[in-house]
Structure 1
Amino acid sequence: MTIHRRLYRLYRHCAIVTALAWLAGCASLPAANKDAAMFSQTRSTNHRDHDDLLTGGLGLAGLQSMLPPTFADPTHPSAEELRKRALWSNWRGIADLAPGGGYGSVYGSVAAVPGREFSALATLPGAKQPHRVLLQLPDQFDTHKRCVVVAPSSGSRGIYGAIAVAGAWALPRGCAVVYTDKGTGTDYFDVDAGQGIAEDGRVAGSDSALAFKPTPGTGTGVAFKHAHSQDNPEADWGRHVKQAAQYALATLNAQLPQQAPFTFANTRVIAVGISNGGGAVLRAAEDGEPWLAAVVSGEPNIWTDAHGGRNLYDYSTEGALLMPCALPQLGIPAMPGLEAKCAALAARGVLAGANFEAQQRDALTKLHAAGWTDAALRAGSISVGFDLWRAVAVGYASAYGHYAYDAHPCGYRYSAQNADLSLRASTAIERAAWWADASGIPPGAGVGIVDPKPLTDMGLTGLQCLRALSTGDSVAAQRVRQGIAQTRASAPRAGLPVVVIHGRSDGLVPQAFSSQPYVAMAKDAGRDVRYWQVDNAQHFDAFLALPQMAAAYLPLLPYMYTALDRVDAYLDGKAALPADAVIHTVPRMGKPLTAEHLAMPQ
């Protein structure tokens, strides 16, 4: 045996022992101590027979059900029941599963993939709160290809928030998938009851090991990790993605010792995400170490201050104030009370115009001047209707400013509410379902935004305060903008294949403010970024279940899966990377989706 082979075997043995010691919580090795500080509360579960990794045994029919999986005891659901319901809610929050939408026939898979899950709480150096990581290891893991897909959650979703994006593509192909909630997620904390969410998703007291426990304060109501961790998680999304990949390799080393060591040098790691997850993988792409093989990013919330880029907080607070008054000019019916709201904005000097029609025109003119397209505005009406602009602005102001749950600069807080918006305590049933049902940022799942001013104000004082945090010079504004500055993106690592995909009608994260400036910046730096722009695609595939949405828009997920196919083939040496493309799709107009509608580039 040569000295090189002896050294390799010694290295391989040490890697296996270290990983096994880490998973067992062993404190006898220095490496295990280091990993134990990084990853805690590791747990594993099996998913076979009438359970599976992708759908928890629900299959397509179960995912399509309008009713979520039930709990035997609604106040004390089991960890297994919570997992199944979280899968159901996250699939339905991301994918268009409606009959005729094409999922499972034209594109995508809900194949029953048996395997195991390994999850832990991971902590970045210097962070106050952990983020969740979860590895799905299929029984048919391809030990020759050695593929790991790392996937941060979209939006502010919990740990299964990328299941329809990454799991559906990777698991049936024999790849492992590791997820991170990237410091956001559904780990809500009831301040009044002193209860939060344990690692297995169940409610536990504040004396337990929780996935999020806010800094003690004097407020009441509900706190949640994205807004109230005081870590500004968005600034570290790239690091969250890398740490999740490190967790995957350590787990593979422990679980597959005959194939170990698994390292970044011998394991293909592809990062994929949409929305906030799409921004997170692009931030991970900046890392100068060659641990990533490729990146696929869809509709990314990404910000560069070159080429007209605008940060999410800037345009969401602008949209919250101006968009409702502008939409009637695009033929979208006015919401109840809009005339009075626009008149109040005119009285406050936000809008010009002596009557409702003139105020509408001024709002639209201002939005056009700021870079909004009519296509983005029409799709942005979804965010108006669901109060998403305010939801984003309130939560992200706390996150960017590192504010505690009881210290919002504009006086907002969160609480359970009655139908008349009066405050109440959350119930045991609501708390028990938070981890599975919540989207990671209120309103929703029984938690609402408490406006600091009476309803007669129409919320305008609060909205103007939120806007001033982006445009003003107060101490609070400087604090929020400092947090925003920490989220600025830079170019990906030289030589890293990156594919960016964006719907040209995206109204929540308009491409003119996000992906277009990012791609231009990256190409200016000489980076290999390919860009697909998809006609008639907006931000929310899940809303295509609504007939009027399905008639006008097409899903973005098919393009994500195809881009992953082509990147994977490129890494195998079987094809070139996809070329830049403006994809001229064909709207369904109420018909079942076909490949012809998608017009996938060849």
Structure 2
Amino acid sequence: MTNPLSRWTLLLVPLLASCAAPSVTKESGMQAPEFVRGEVRVTEHRQGDDLLSAGLGLDGLAGAPSSIAHPLQPTPAELRRRAIQTSWKGIADLGPLGGYGHVYGAVPNVPGREYQAFAWIPDAHSPHRVLLQVPDNFDRSHRCLVVTASSGSRGIYGAIALAGAWGLPRGCAVAYTDKGTGGGYFDPADDTGVALDGTRAKRGSTTLEFEPAKEATHGDIAVKHLHSGDNPEADWGRHVLQAAQFGLAMLDRAFPEQAPFTAQNTRIIATGLSNGGGAVLQAAGLDDGHLLAGVVALEPNVRVPGQGRALFDYATDAAIWLPCALVDARFDSAPMARTPQGDVPPAWAQRCHQLHEHGLVSGTRVAQQAAQAYEHLRAGGWTDDAMTTAASTTALDLWRAITAGYASAYMRRGPDDMPCGFHYAGLGAHGAPGPVDAATKASWWADASGIPPGNGVGLFGGTDHSADPTLPGTLCLRSLWDDTDASTQPLRDGVAATTVKMPRASLPLWVVHGASDGLLPTTFTSEPYVAWLRAGGAHPLYWKVPHAQHFDAFLPIPGFGAQHVPLLPYGYAALDRLWAHLYEGAPWPALVPTPASTPRGTGALSKEALDLPAAWTPGPG
């Protein structure tokens, strides 16, 4: 999911340089694929601007939000720069102790061109955005296309810290899809959505990234991932394959003298993390045309038919039970599980009381109730490692935000018809619904994570005036999964539609997952997937990395990073090994031992903590 809240990104320090605006060009030549409707926007990024960091460099990416000269009317170039910066900060640990650019990774200047368009899955109500970045140093002797999908519900640049950072400096072109997610929010208050260049536009004035039917918007803010009526998660694999096809077609335009670019003469490497990791695994199972030459998936949100647990299942369970379970003394040292004074958050103790009131636990003391909540989660497959790091997700109320939104997506509901009474509106005075600040709205495409709350939008409904106000909505969401009533069957059907298919056995495939992932625990996702592949005759590689968790971007939080290592360097290392196999003739190994990583500690990250072989350079840096 990889969707940390913006207040934590403020921990990632100083100032930015300004960058030259890209030029927009028209290129003649081959037609776009038939699934592209409308224009292909081509921009050039050189002289103070580039593909990988929009000219900000590592220090600028880590610094304060890039400036917008006129906040009510940001330019496409300003929005792009902010979108790239926001995507980097949401995925990578750019903090002073994190080691990015020193121990692993790099952010070199990579000039080049971008090709961007709206693409359509057959019968979809809304498009997904596709983008190809073509570096000027494209290696024509090792024709390489990296294809990726955004993490979480992020916009088009949502995987740039993985796919772009690894592929662009190596001379690969990189094709992205937002997989039907992103910050293309529609506000019926002024009837505006997001145009192809990221700016806001009125309905009917141009093609919009997301435009709900007029009758579906009576006042609530509409979000593409959640309200398009398409259940985009069911099509994430198709989005990835279309992005790969778009990438090949745009390479034909970029280098007509070397066309055609095909999967037979251009190696296509698929990689993604979190929801993007799940998307590339979906694509691998649908790749009947052998487009993909290899796949590296990090912390994938992957659902195997009849095995593991679906995200909506364990997330609604966690939303109810984790606040109480984390009261247990075994979690006293878990980051974000206690107040700054070292106390149990009062709301979590109240959750234990409410579980007792609902007859879900029998203990009469909070300690007994917490122990019973803990045992409930353990019986459902949760490990202590996963629960410990899930304290952060619980403290930030992400379980409720995720499940309220995903319920709407799975059930194909509109903004005014979300399950359990939830809806999105602007945040007015004192947290009440109100108009969205105009400057905040103007930058939604660049800044928004793709699932509110955040960026001036609040999640409302599903609450009461009790001492535990969010519990009624949380219990309602859980009932959608547990009920057998016909009215809730669309949710279970929507979840079932997201399961993966078996990829071809010969496809080089590597899954990299943090052993301490508390958002997409390995016991529900990667482990059943890898076991399923092996039972089906495939030979995937699998790293369950000790002390790695879901959010590298959380590692700058005091007390959090000391207990963990970042996951990105292991993804870079796996991609390096795949490159060596595809381009240098290195055999694809039957087994690669998982590195014996150790927690970073209170100081800066060291190479020794990562325990990657010295011969492996983790990333292009």
TM-score over 0.5 (shorter chain) = yes
Is contact 2:187-2:222 (8 Å) kept? Answer: yes
- Residue type of the alignment partner of 1:571: L
How is 1:357-396 mapped onto 2 (pairs within 5 angstroms)? 357-396=367-406
Pairwise CA distance, 1:59: 0.5
One-letter amino acid matched to 2:292 = L
Q: 1:100 and 2:100 equivalent?
A: no
- d(CA) in 1 for partners of 2:114, 2:294: 24
Q: Which residue of 1 aligns with 2:53?
A: 55
CA distance in 2, matches of 1:122, 1:501: 29
Please give the secondary structure, in 2, of the residue aligned with 1:254: helix
1:583 to partner: Cα distance: 2.6
2:601 match? 589
Instruction: Give 2:254's aligned residue.
Output: 255
Q: Which residue of 2 aligns with 1:303?
A: 303
Cα–Cα, structure 1 residues 253 and 183, in superposed 2: closer, same or farther, change >3 Å? same
Which structure carries more helix by proportion? 1
**CA deviation after TM superposition for structure 1 residue 452, in Å:** 3.5
User: CA-to-partner distance for each residue in 1:15-46, whole Å, 9 max, x for gaps?
Assistant: xxx992425xxxxxxxxxxx355343210111
CA 1:494 to 1:19, structure 2 compared with 1: closer, same or farther past 3 Å? farther
When the two chains are superposed, the root-mean-square deviation of aligned CA atoms in Å is: 1.5
1:53-452 correspondence to structure 2 within 5 Å: 53-65=51-63, 67-208=64-205, 209-216=207-214, 217-286=216-285, 287-306=287-306, 308-329=307-328, 330-331=331-332, 332-333=337-338, 334-418=344-428, 420-452=430-462
Q: In structure 1, how many angstroms separate the alpha carbons of the residues matched to 2:598 and 2:539?
A: 29
Q: Distance in 1 between matches of 2:362 and 2:304?
A: 31
CA contact (8 A) 1:19 1:251 kept: no
- Read off the aligned partner of 2:58 and give its amino acid letter: L
Cα shift readout 1:269-306 (whole Å, capped 9, x = no counterpart): 00000000000000010122211000000000001144
Deviation readout 1:317-363 (Å, 9 max, x if unpaired): 00100001001212232223322232122212233322211211111
Following the alignment from structure 1 to structure 2, what is the Cα–Cα distance between the partners of residues 421 and 450?
A: 10
Which of 500, 504, 519 does residue 489 from structure 1 map onto?
500
- Distance in 2 (CA, whole Å) between partners of 1:580 and 1:37 is 40
* Equivalent-residue separation in structure 2 for 1:478 and 1:543 (angstroms): 36
Mapping for residues 531-550 of structure 1, pairs under 5 Å: 531-550=542-561
Following superposition of structure 1 onto structure 2, how do residues 460-471 of structure 1 map, counting pairs within 5 Å?
460-471=471-482
Cα drift, residue 382 of structure 1: 1.1
Letter in 2 for 1:49: Q
C-alpha deviation, 1:590, in angstroms: 1.2
**Contact 1:346–1:359 (8 Å) recurs in 2:** yes
Taking the aligned partners of 1:529 and 1:434, their CA distance within structure 2 comes to 39
- What is the SS of the residue equivalent to 2:459? strand
- Secondary structure at the aligned position of 1:572 is classed as helix
How far, CA to CA, are the matches of 2:192 and 2:453 in structure 1?
A: 19
SS of the residue aligned with 1:297? strand
Q: What is the alpha-carbon distance in structure 2 between the residues aligned to residue 229 and residue 39 of structure 1?
A: 17
Which range moved further: 558-567 or 450-459? 450-459
**How many pairs align?**
572
1:566 counterpart (570, 577, 581): 577
1:598 and 2:610 matched:
yes
Q: Where does the alignment leave 5 or more consecutive residues of structure 1 unmatched?
A: 1-17, 24-34
Which amino acid in 2 is paired with 1:59?
G
Whole-Å Cα distance in 2 between the matches of residues 218 and 117 of structure 1? 33
Partner of 2:490: 479
Residue pairs, 1:7-22, within 5 angstroms: 20-22=29-31
TM-score, length-scaled by structure 2: 0.90
Q: In structure 1, how many angstroms separate the alpha carbons of the residues matched to 2:428 and 2:464? A: 15
Q: Give the whole-Å Cα distance in 1 for the aligned partners of 2:198 and 2:253.
A: 24
Aligned 8 A contact 1:38 1:124 in 2: no
Give 3-state SS (helix, strand or coil) of 1:426's partner: coil
Quick check: 1:19–1:253 contact (8 Å CA) kept in 2? no
- Asked whether the 8 Å contact 1:40–1:122 carries over to 2, the reply is no
Q: Which deviates more, 384-393 or 499-508?
A: 384-393
Q: Deviations over 1:517-552 (max 9, x none)?
A: 000001100112110110000000011111311110
- TM-score scaled by length of structure 1: 0.93
The Cα offsets for residues 151-207 of structure 1, whole Å up to 9 and x where unpaired, read as 100000000000001000000010000100001111111122211111111011112
Post-superposition offset of 1:476: 3.5
Paired letter, 2:133: Q
CA contact (8 A) 2:428 2:436 kept: no
For 1:468 and 1:219, the matched residues in 2 are separated by 27
Moved more, 134-143 or 354-363: 354-363
Deviations 1:366-400 (A, max 9, x none): 00000000000011111101111011101110111
Summarize deviations over 1:241-274 as a string: whole Å, max 9, x none.
Answer: 0000110111111120111110111110000000
**Cα distance in 2 for residues equivalent to 1:577 and 1:597:** 26
Q: C-alpha separation between the residues in 1 aligned to 2:547 and 2:217?
A: 48
Q: SS at the partner of 1:563?
A: helix
> Structure 1, residues 481-527: CA drift from partner, whole Å, max 9, x if none?
00000011122122100000000000000000000000000110011
Could you say what secondary structure the match of 1:500 adopts?
strand
Greater displacement, 420-429 / 128-137: 420-429
1:100 deviates by 2.4
| Counterpart in the other structure of 1:13 | none
**Structure 2 match to 1:516:** 527
Post-superposition Cα deviations, 1:414-458, rounded to whole Å, max 9, x if no partner, equal 011236331101121121011111111111111111023334351
Which segments of structure 1 move beyond 4 Å, counting only runs of 4 or more? none
Q: Structure 1 vs Structure 2: percent identity of aligned residues? A: 49
Q: How many angstroms apart in 2 are the aligned matches of 1:248 and 1:510?
A: 32
